[in-house]
Structure formats: structure tokens, C-alpha cells
Amino acid sequence: MHALLAYCRPGFEGECAQELAARDADLGGGAYARSRKDSGFVEFVFGDAAGLARFDAAVRWRELVFARQLVRVFARIDGLPASDRLGVVMPVLRAHDRRWCDAWIESPDSDAARELAALCRALNNALVAAMKREKLIVTGVPERLHVCLVDPRTAFIADVRVDDAAPWPGGIPRLRFPSAAPSRSTLKLEEALLTLLDDGERERWLKPGMRAVDLGAAPGGWTWQLVRRSLHVTAIDNGPMAPALVDSGLVTHLREDGFRYRPPQPVDWLVCDMVEQPRKVAARMAEWLAGGWCRHAVFNLKLPMKKRYDEVALCHAMIADAVGAGGQRLVWRARQLYHDREEVTVYASPR
């Protein structure tokens, strides 16, 4: 097989397929997508190995918005027997004549496939043990094996380079809601900082004492993530903030309009999770980034019901044009996070 398998949020298979097709078209085209609505995955098929290799060399997982994980498929197994699934999988691995650093058995994030989670966990330890016995798992190998069960009888067998892949099964970081946070929206910013920045960037760019502005802050879910990292936050919202945040000594709450507020001096970070049309939010972010009012920004774009991929591309172009007009280049990383719904989260910075 010459195919990629992309995990995505159920209901966004069309946007994921559209994004992969757009990237493939830039490289000469020829691939096509196969997907089912609400399945939580897209199969992206190439005509030959050269097309897959060209795409794989040019497109990085971190650059994609709607794909939580992107793996290279080398086999599909239909009709897996319930009594001995590994007895069918292992000969496929032997025939492939490869070695991997680890192996994950996982399922898409759909309602139907989530019922396979217990089966995946039970099979995973057995698979790893079997592969180690046959020396198919070897320390230091750059690729990881992925077995994706899309239903109890069907599996895609794939692999991926660990340095260009999500480090979580299914591409989903499992985060626990902190009881001290004032709202569950805090998990969006936690996941964004974990997903859109690497370890070194978080260490360099999120230092105690830095200054941030949170537009549309109330009740303080995103502010809480910044305060726990000892940043000073100006929280902009006409609504009330959680009293514990205000009492922390790190938060200044201003009852102002997030679409009109301008900081008296540039800050290190701008975060924004306002419920508004994506183009209006993008225009506001363009103003901040092009004006040099912040060094880094994380914001959400609430997507329309239709043409959602096109809307993200349009917002990206709006901000890039504004930043480019000032002679700078826009760093843009966008992802539909696990804790997002009808939205994507963006990290942006002018350089």
C-alpha cells in the first residue's frame, strides 16, 4: 500500500482530507482521500511509492491543522479473527522486514472506535512482548509501529518517524482538569502550549516575570495557565474573574472591551479565546502582531459550519499579510486540539 492514515476529530474528516489534498496539489497532485463521516480518520492514498515519498519528505505533521497524527500505512488487514488477532498481525510484520523502537495499538476517536480502547490496551502489551521476542523492537530505531483498529476486524498497519509525530497514542494528550482552575477552557491553553511549542520553546518563552494580556479572560481559565507559570497577566473582560486569581497578586483585571484594549507597552504574550467571528478575531490578532504589541500569541478561531478549512486559510493570509507589510515574517502553527470543538487554536509570532 502507498497511503497515509490521518487521525482527526470526528466530523472533520472532510477538512482533514481537504488539507492533505491541498498540500499534495502543491507537490504535483495525484493522491486521493477515502473517509467516512464521523469515523475520526482519513486514508490518503497515493498512486505509487514515489508520490508517498515526495509528500512524506515535504509535509511535516506539526504543520497540519486538522490531523492529530499522520502515519505511513504499509498494510491493511481485513477479517481479523477475534480469537487470535496477533496471529494474523505478526506474519505481516515479519514480511515487512523492518525494526521499530516501540509499538502502539490504537483506535480512532469516534464513538464506535472508542469501544475498542480496552481491546487495544489488552493487545498492546502482548504485541510488544511478541515483537521483542523476535527482535522486531530495537532500541535506537527512529520509527515506531502503529496498529490502528478501526473496527474489531479491520486494522491498518503503519509506522512513523518518532521525531515527526505526536508523542501520544491517537495524537491526543490526556490532560487532567486542575481543580483549582476556574473553567475547563484551561485545558485548551494547556494543550496548545504542549502541542504547538516544543520543550525548549516553552522553557525560553514562558519564564516567570514575563507579562501577558488575556483578551476575553473571564472567568480566567487561560489566565490560570499563565499564572501557574508565574507570568503577570492583564485580564481584559467586562465579566467577573475568579477571585483567587485576582488575589494571587499576578493578575490585573480591567473591565474593558477586548476588541478595543491596547497595552500601554508591548508584552511578551497575548492569549485570546473570545467567541466571535473568526475573521474579526484574525483582524484583531493582526493588529497586535503587526503593531508589535506582543512577541507571542495563542488564540482560538471559532469556525463556521461550512468551508472551515477555507476560513482558517483566509485568517492565516490576513495575519501574514499584515505582519509582512511591516517587513516581518509570520510564524504560524495551528491545530484543532482534542479540547477544541468547532474551532482551531493558533500560535503566531512575528519574526
User: Annotated active-site positions, please?
Assistant: 302
Which amino acid does the sequence have at 30? G
Q: What angle do CA 232, 234, 236 make, to 5 degrees?
A: 155
